[in-house]
Structure 1
Amino acid sequence: MKKKLYVILLLFVGAVLPSCKDFLDEQPLHSLTGENAIKDLTTAKAALGGVYASFQNDSWSGALYVAQATKSGFVNITAQTDYDLTYNESNPGSNVPGIWQNFYKSLNAANFAIEGIGKLSDAAVPLAERTAMVAEGRCLRAWIHANVLWNFGHWWAEDADAYGIICRDEVISLKNVLKARSTVGESYQKIYEDLDYAIANLGEFSSPRYLSKQFAKALKAKLLLYRGGYRNTTADLQLSLTLVNEILANPSPSFAMESSLADVYGKAWDSNENLFVRYLEDDGSRAYTGGFNYTYGIIYGGDRLPLPIDKTLTAGLKYGVDWFKADPRWPVVTGSVRAPETWDDKQCYCFKKLARLGRYAGAQANPKDEKYAAYYFRYSELYLMKAELLARTGAAISTAIAPINEMRSKRTNPVLMPLNPQNSDELMDLIFKEIFMELFMENGSEMFAAVRFKKDGQPWIVAIKENKAFELNKLCWPIPRVEMVNNTLMVQNPDLK
C-alpha cells in the first residue's frame, strides 16, 4: 500500500510544469522542497505562475471542451463513449484519466501557492498584497474545483447527494492522499467560500491572462445558473443575476465586446472580449501545449474536401447545422483548414475559430499562427447569462431577450439582427440556440445548456440525440481507476462502475 500511495503522490507532486516566464518573468514553483519554498514576493508570484502554467495542456482546452460538445450530441469527435454516455471505470474513454490527473495537478499547485503565501511575514510581503495573492490562489482553486465538480460529480443534485468531489485544500502528502469525497452541498460550499474570499479581496480586472474580482463573480454566477437552472431554484438564479448585473454595471475599458467577431479569434488571448483565457507561452511548444483536439482533432472531425456530390458542409456537426448555417457567424467561425499531418495536404472544413490554420500550416506560416486560446469566459457570455436568468426569474419576454439583442447590436461584423420571440417557449429556444452558436466548443456551455434547457418537456440533449434515452447519472465521467485503486476512501459514481 505504501508503494501505491507513493506512486499516486508523484502523479500530483512530481509533475513538471512549463515555464511561466511570459506570465510573471519568473520560473514557476511546483516542487515541494526546502530549496523551492515560498519566501518572498518573487517566489510567491512564481508559485501563482505555476498554477496558470499548469493549464497549458489539452486537458484544460480541447480534450475537455470537444468531449463536452460530443457528450451534448452536437458533434461526435472525441470518443463514441462520450457521445453515447456509455463510459465506465473499465472503459472511461481516452482522455478522462488524463483530465482527472491534470485537474488535480493544477489543484496541488494552487494549494502550494495558497499555503506558502499565507505563511509569509509582513516583512517578506506586505499584508494587503499578500491577501490579494492568497485571494488569487483561492480563486484558482475554486476554478479547478468547479471543473472537477462539473465533470466528475453530481453538480445538478441536491445538497445531501453523496457524489460531490474530493475537496483538497492542502498540498498532497503521504499523510493526506487518502480522502473521501464530499457531498454535493459540501462541494459547493467549499467552492463558494473560496470565491467569496476572492470577491472580497482580489484585485480588479487588468488582464485576461489572470483571475480577477470580476471573474470570481462570473464563476460563482455560472455555478449558480447551471445548478439553479436545472433545479429551478429561484434563490440561486436571483443571486446569479445580481452578480452578472454587478459586472455589467462596472465595466472595464479593457474588457468589452469586440465589434468584429473575426477579431475575437484573430487576436486570441489579446482580445478585449476575454475575462479569462488560457494563454500559451511563445517558447516553441505552442503546437504541443495547445493540445491535440484544437490543433488536430476537430480538423479531421470536420468535412474532408472536396465534398462528395451528395454531401453538404457541416464542419463536423451532427445536429444544429441548419441553425448555424443560417446564422451570419457561420462563415466567420468555420472555414477550410489544411490537414494537420505533414504528409496530408488535403483541406478540411471545420471550426476554424479554434483550429486556426491547424498544427502543420500554423507552424509553417510566417509569422507562425499558433494562438490556440481556450476561451474560459468572454464578455458575450454575460449577456447570454443575463437573458436566461431574466427568463427563468419571470421577466417579460421583451425584457429577457433584450440583453441578447444588446450583445448582437455590438457586433458590426457580421451584422446580427435583433431577435423577437413571440412566446416563452420560443424565447427559451432562442436563448439556447444563441449559447450554442456564440460559444460552441469554447468552454462547455452548450453541453450544460443541453441539459438544463427543455424541448417538449425533455432536456434538449434528448432531442439532439433523436430521442435516445438520457440517464442523468451518466452525464458525469467515472472516477478513473488509478484513483479508485490508490484512494481506498473513494466511491465510484453510480452507474459507472
Structure 2
Amino acid sequence: MMKKTAKWITVLIVALTTSSCKEFLTVQPVDRLTGNNFYLSKDDVEANVANMYSMFFEKINESWVIGAIGETRSGEVFASPGANSYSSRRVVEFLGTNDMLTVISAGTAWDWYNYVRVTDWTRYYQVIQTANILISKLEEGIPGLSDTDKARYIAEATFMRCFTYFWMVRLYGDVVYYTEPYHADGLAREAMVSVLNKCLEDLRPHKNNLPWQFPDPALKGARASRGSIIALLMHMNMWNAGFDRNRREQYYAETAALGTELIQQGPYRLYPLTEDGWATVMKGRSDESLFEFYRSINYQDANAALSPFGDHFLRWPYKFPRFNNQISHCYFIDTYMAKLYPAGLADKRADFWFDDMLSNSGQFTAVKFGFNVYASGNEDRNPDNTFMIFRYADAILLHAEALAELSRDTEAIASLNLIRNRAEATPYSGTGGQELKDFIFWERCRELFGEGHRYFDLVRTQRIMNPTFARNPMNSDQYNRRAWTWPLSPAARVNNPNIVLNEYWLNFR
C-alpha cells in the first residue's frame, strides 16, 4: 500500500504541477480579474459574474463528478455486465468501497474519467479569487451602478465565494480560507467548522439584497437569488451541526427559521409528478429551482459526455443511439432500492422515476433523468437537463430535519408530508424522536436520488458508520481520520509549504 501511495503522489505531481496549478491560488484569465480598466461599467461586472459561474461549472464538468462525490461511495452502485466499457465503469465499485487511491490511479481502465482532477482544488480558488476581486472593486465603486445594483452584485459574489468554500469543505475537509483580493500568502488550512462559520457570518447580511426572483425568467435558478442564499445557509448550518456538536442547537434553530422563511415568503413551489411537470423541473429555470448550473442544447453548451448523473443509469429509449445503449451502464442494488421504496407503501416516485428498479442489471433505469430526450436515433447525447444544485424539496426536507432535531415533531412532520403528498406517497404518521429523524433521512434519499446529496448526508449525520444506512460503512477510526474526504493533490504544496495533505490518504490502510 505504501508503494501505491508513493505512485499516486508521483503521478499527481507530474500531472498537476505541469498545468494550471504552477502557482498556488493562481487566477486566470488576468484580463477578466485584474486591472482597473476592466471594472468600468455594469457590463464588466456582468462579465465577471458570468465568469465565476462558468469557472465553477468547468470544474464539475471534468468527469462524472456529481455521482462520484455525492452518490456512490457507500457501496450501492455496480457496473452492469455487458454495458459499454464495462471494465471502465467498474470504477463505481471502487468508489463504493472507498478505495480512492485506486480510483485516481493512472494506468487503469477508467483513466478517461479523470478522477485525479477532483483532488486538485486550484480552479475552486480561482472562483474564490474572482469573487474577492469583484467584491473589492464593487466596494471601491463602479460607474453607472446604483446602490441597489451594487448591493445585489456584492451579495451574488459573496454567495459564490461561500458556495465554493462549502463545496470544498465537503470534498477536502479543512481548507485555506481568505477573502482578500489578490491574495498570495501561503496560508495553512483552517478547520472546516471555522471556515463555514466565517461563511455564515459573511453571507447572512446579504440575504435580503438579492431578489426572490429576477425580472428576466431566463435567470431563474441560473443566477443566485434570495432562495439560493437561504438554501446555502441551511446547508452550511446542517453540515456544522454534524461536527460542532456543542453548538448544534444553534445550527438547527437557524436552519429551521430559514426554512420557515423560505416556505412562507418565497415564490417557490413543488411541481406535480407528471411528465410535463417533472420535465420542467429537470430542464431547469423552474419555480422549484433554488440554484442550478443551467445547460441547454439550444446554447450549444459543452457538457462532458459522462458528466450528467443520469448518463450511467439511462438506456434506450431515454439515451441514444439505440445500438450501443441497450442497457444502462450501472445500477443501484435491489436491497438498497427496496429500502428506499418499501413494498406496501404508496409512492408514485417508485414507478414514475424508475424502470426495472429491482433488476440488479443494466435494465435498471433512472427515468427521473430521462424526460427531456431530444436526440435523434444517431446522436450519442444525454437528455437536455440542468445541473441541479439546490432544489425547493431539498430545503423543505432540511427544514423538517432541523425541526425534528429540535423536537418540534409536529412541525417537522408537516414539512415532511409536503414532499410525501407531492409524491402521492403514504403520509408519515409515525412517532417523533429517532424514528422520525431516520424517516426524514430516507425521505431525502428518495426525493433527492441522484442529485448529489446522499453521501454528504451520510457523512454529516454520522450514518456513514451504520450498516443500516450504508452498504459499506466506515468504522469510527476511519471517520475521525476523515476517510470520507477526497485525497488532496500534492500540487497544493508546490508554492505553499504550509499545506498539509489529507492524512488518511497518505497513511491509507
Band the TM-score falls in, shorter-chain normalisation: 0.7 to 0.9
> Which amino acid in 1 is paired with 2:73?
K
State the Cα distance separating 1:82 from its structure 2 match.
Answer: 2.9
Match of 1:249 among 244, 256, 264: 264
Cα offset for 1:128? Answer: 2.7
Q: Could you list the per-position Cα deviations for residues 179-228 of structure 1 after superposition, in whole angstroms to 9, with x for gaps in the alignment?
A: 32123343123311331132143333332111122321221111112221
Q: Pick from 122, 133, 138: which aligns with 1:117? A: 138
| SS of residue in 2 equivalent to 1:292 | coil
How much has 1:406 moved relative to structure 2?
2.3
Q: 2:273 aligns with which of 233, 251, 260?
A: 260
Alignment of 1:114-263 (within 5 A): 114-121=135-142, 123-153=143-173, 164-171=174-181, 175-176=184-185, 178-206=186-214, 207-229=220-242, 232=245, 233-252=248-267, 255-260=268-273, 262-263=275-276
Q: TM-score, normalised by structure 2?
A: 0.75
Structure 1 464/115 Cα, relative in aligned 2: closer, same or farther at 3 Å?
same
- Map Cα deviations across residues 383-441 of structure 1 (whole Å, 9 max, x no partner): 21122112111123x443221112322x2xx5222122245343222211110010022
CA distance in 1, matches of 2:443, 2:62: 21
Change (3 A) 1:6 1:334: closer
**Are residues 1:380 and 2:382 paired?**
no
1:474 is matched with: 483
* Greater shift in the superposed pair: 99-108 or 221-230: 99-108
Q: Does 1:464 align with 2:470?
A: yes
SS at match of 1:109: helix
Distance 1:239 1:82 in 2: 34
Q: Distance in 2 between matches of 1:30 and 1:107?
A: 16
Deviation at 1:66, TM superposition (A): 0.6
Cα distance change on mapping 1:81 and 1:280 into 2, 3 Å = same
Could you tell me whether the CA contact under 8 Å between 2:369 and 2:385 is conserved in 1? yes
How far apart in 1 are the matches of 2:182 and 2:18?
A: 14
Q: What's the counterpart of residue 83 of structure 2?
A: none
Instruction: Report the CA distance shift for 1:208/1:419 in structure 2 as closer, same or farther (over 3 A).
Output: same
Name 2:352's counterpart in structure 1: 332
Tell me, in whole angstroms, the C-alpha distance in 2 between the residues paired with 1:484 and 1:197: 34
2:492 matched residue in structure 1:
483
Contact 2:312-2:329 at 8 Å conserved across structures: no
Structure 1: distance between partners of 2:37 and 2:235: 36
Return the alpha-carbon distance in structure 1 between the equivalents of residues 303 and 431 of structure 2. 48
C-alpha spacing 1:361/1:321, structure 2 compared with 1 (3 Å): farther
State the partner residue of 2:43.
Answer: 42
| Aligned equivalent of 1:71 | 73
Unaligned residue ranges in structure 2 (runs of 5+): 1-16, 79-88, 107-113, 215-219
Alignment size in residue pairs: 444
Bigger shift: 267-276 or 480-489?
480-489
Deviations 1:102-123 (A, max 9, x none): 42333233234323333324x4
The answer as to whether partners of 1:55 and 1:278 remain within 8 angstroms in 2 is: no
Say what the alpha-carbon RMSD is for the aligned residues: 3.9
CA distance in 2, matches of 1:101, 1:462: 37
Query: CA offsets, 1:338-366, max 9 Å, x none?
Result: xxxxxxxx98533233366789758849x
**Structure 1 residues 82 and 315, CA gap change in structure 2 (3 angstroms):** closer
Aligned partners of 2:187 and 2:498 also within 8 Å:
yes
SS at match of 2:284: helix
For 1:43, the aligned partner's letter is: D
Q: TM-score, normalised by structure 1?
A: 0.77
Cross-structure match for 2:412: 400
Cα displacement (A) at 1:40: 0.8
Deviations 1:31-68 (A, max 9, x none): 34549612111111111111122243461697332112
Instruction: Write the distance in 2 (CA, Å) between the matches of 1:434 and 1:142.
Output: 27
TM-fit CA distance, 1:295: 6.0
Q: What residue number does 1:321 align with?
A: 337
**Native 8 Å contact 1:262 1:333 kept in 2:** no
Judged with a 3 Å threshold, the aligned counterparts in structure 2 of structure 1 residues 222 and 347 are, in CA distance, closer, same or farther, namely closer
Looking at structure 2, the residues matched to 290 and 117 of structure 1 have their Cα atoms a distance apart, in angstroms, of 37
Residues 270/124 of structure 1: CA separation in 2 closer, same or farther (3 Å cut): closer
| Counterpart-to-counterpart distance in 2, 1:226 and 1:441 | 19
Distance in 2 (alpha carbons) for counterparts of 1:57 and 1:466: 31
One-letter code aligned to 1:202 = L
Which residue identity does 1:100 align to in structure 2? W
> Structure 1: which amino acid aligns with 2:249?
T
- Offset of residue 7 of structure 1: 5.0
The equivalences for 1:84-99 within 5 A come to: 84-87=97-100, 91=104, 94-98=114-118
Q: Secondary structure at the match of 2:503?
A: coil
Q: For residues 318 and 172 of structure 1, what CA distance do their matches in structure 2 show?
A: 51
The CA distance in 2 between the partners of 1:261 and 1:422, in whole Å, is 31
What's the secondary structure of 2:38's corresponding residue? coil
CA–CA distance in structure 2, aligned partners of residues 104 and 362 of structure 1: 41
Cα distance change, pair 217–33 in 1 and its aligned pair in 2 (3 A): closer
Structure 1 residues 6 and 387: CA distance shift in structure 2, 3 A = closer
**Deviation, structure 1 residue 139:** 0.9
